[in-house]
Structure 1
Amino acid sequence: MHLAEGRVEIFHNNEWGTVCGDAWTIEDAMVVCRQLGFRSEGANDYDYAWFGEGIGAIFLDDVSCIGNENVLGECPHRGWEKHNCAHSLDAGVSCEQDIRLFGGHSYNEGRVEMFHNGGWTPLCDASWGEKESVVVCRQLGFPIDGAKAQIGAGFGHDRENSLRNDVSCNGTESTLQQCAHVGWEEHICNQSQLIGVICGK
């Protein structure tokens, strides 16, 4: 499973600031992962500046999420910029990615697969291009310079159902789920439409 992890920071009043790890829980981490477009299942919470201390403002303290909120700001908290905290308690999270590259010759390339209904399923899209590939590379933490799309079974094929979606990205999105799309649909894919991506190293 691919992980995305780090210190939690929020953009507020035109600057980035941290979140205090006082009473930071798995429910809080689930909301952060959901807000960023990752799977909330498998989220992990960290405090005591596990990913290093931030600088500048501390925007939230005593966050108390139920776990089903869409953004962290919806959760009860002490109030914006109201805290009795220090950066030594900065909160962090790790989230499970629901996108992976599979079947490539190196770690930065492969068939694009999505975690769907409890398993990994290849993506299939005849209109996939460079912008969509850039977003996948960014989401997985790879350099986006030189990101390339490969349509067809160049990274192997899958005889089972694939996920078809007419995804259209502008190339600046953080995750594939943020791109315009019409919904994920399972079907038997034409192998010539399987999506592959090569990311920078």
Structure 2
Amino acid sequence: MTEVTTDVRLFGGLTPYSGRLEVKYNDQWGTVCDDGFNDASAKVVCRMMGFSDARHARFIPPSEYGPGTGTIWLDDIKCFGNETDIADCQTAEWGISNCNHDEDIAVDCQTPTRLFGGNAHKGRVEVQIDGEWNSLCKDTFRTAEAEVVCSMLGFSARKAKAHFGAYYGEGQGDIVVDELRCSGIEEDISECKSKDWLSQTNCNHNEDAAVECCKSFYIEIGDK
């Protein structure tokens, strides 16, 4: 296995962690065909973007984030999932493809999320964008949104509670998303409806959203 040498990005998603997969070759950005691409290939891409385990990586059918432009650099990719670089996977030669842009593949990596100011299972909700931890506004943040956050962090969604008014203290970074609306079954908060991430919000840090997750299934039973 080699060190990561290929530049990759996810384009067209609400966050930097989901979108159409694009790779850079000969100083030009291009796309990747869906032929042969699967969850194992998605794990490699997410790991390249800084996810150590990439356990929530999944590929998304073409057209989810629209077609790309330029050269389709890679086709017929076959990864085992443990490669360091997508260029380590079995693939056709760079730039050799029988695909159209309506076959451009997309990838969804889990948005880095943590609970801060409480303990392992409760705290202010923060997401990482470009290496910085930022908070979410409480507007429309209710039980369904708390359930998604708890599930992302490995806790049961049952009995998830949403807290408001900087319940666990005020954040220091940006408020990166406002009016988040989840159904409760999403795998990642980036899949929920919202205003554009990183857009201007009308919130202050005294409105930072927080959640309390049930520590384990067994505690849920004992709490009944």
* Class of the TM-score when normalised by the shorter of the 2 chains: 0.5 to 0.7
- Hey, what's the Cα distance between the residues in 2 that align with 1:101 and 1:45? 19
5+ unaligned residues in a row in structure 2: which ranges? 1-37, 63-73, 84-108, 216-224
Residues 44 and 82 of structure 2 are in contact (CA less than 8 Å); yes or no, is this contact kept in structure 1? Answer: no
- Hey, what's the Cα distance between the residues in 2 that align with 1:45 and 1:145? 25
2:193 to 170, 175, 180: 180
- Hey, what's the Cα distance between the residues in 2 that align with 1:101 and 1:127? 19
- Hey, what's the Cα distance between the residues in 2 that align with 1:165 and 1:158? 15
Cα displacement string for residues 114-138 of structure 1 (whole angstroms, at most 9, x for unaligned residues) = 1113210111132110000000001
1:114 aligns with 2:122: no
TM-score by length of 2: 0.51
TM-score by length of 1: 0.56
2:209 to 176, 195, 200: 195
Q: Counterpart in 1 of 2:153?
A: 140
Question: Does 1 or 2 have the higher relative contact order (CA < 8 Å, sep 6+)?
Answer: 1
1:154 to 167, 176, 182: 167
SS in 1 for 2:195: coil
Identity, % of aligned positions: 30
SS in 2 for 1:43: coil
- Hey, what's the Cα distance between the residues in 2 that align with 1:126 and 1:111? 14
Q: After TM superposition, what 4+ stretches of structure 1 lie above 3 angstroms from structure 2?
A: 43-46, 69-75, 90-93, 186-189
Residues 42 and 59 of structure 2 are in contact (CA less than 8 Å); yes or no, is this contact kept in structure 1? Answer: no
SS in 2 for 1:181: coil
Residues 134 and 172 of structure 2 are in contact (CA less than 8 Å); yes or no, is this contact kept in structure 1? Answer: no
Cα displacement string for residues 158-182 of structure 1 (whole angstroms, at most 9, x for unaligned residues) = 3543223211111111110111122
Residues 121 and 162 of structure 1 are in contact (CA less than 8 Å); yes or no, is this contact kept in structure 2? Answer: yes
May I ask how many residue pairs the two structures share in their alignment?
A: 139
Deviation for aligned residue 1:154: 1.4
Deviation for aligned residue 1:188: 7.5
- Hey, what's the Cα distance between the residues in 1 that align with 2:48 and 2:121? 24
Evaluate the alpha carbon distance shift between residue 117 and residue 149 of structure 1 in structure 2; reply closer, same or farther with a 3 A threshold: same
Q: Counterpart in 1 of 2:176?
A: 163
Evaluate the alpha carbon distance shift between residue 45 and residue 115 of structure 1 in structure 2; reply closer, same or farther with a 3 A threshold: closer
Q: Mapping of 1:47-58 within 5 angstroms?
A: none
5+ unaligned residues in a row in structure 1: which ranges? 1-18, 34-38, 52-68, 79-89
Q: CA RMSD in A?
A: 3.7
Residues 43 and 81 of structure 2 are in contact (CA less than 8 Å); yes or no, is this contact kept in structure 1? Answer: no
SS in 1 for 2:49: strand
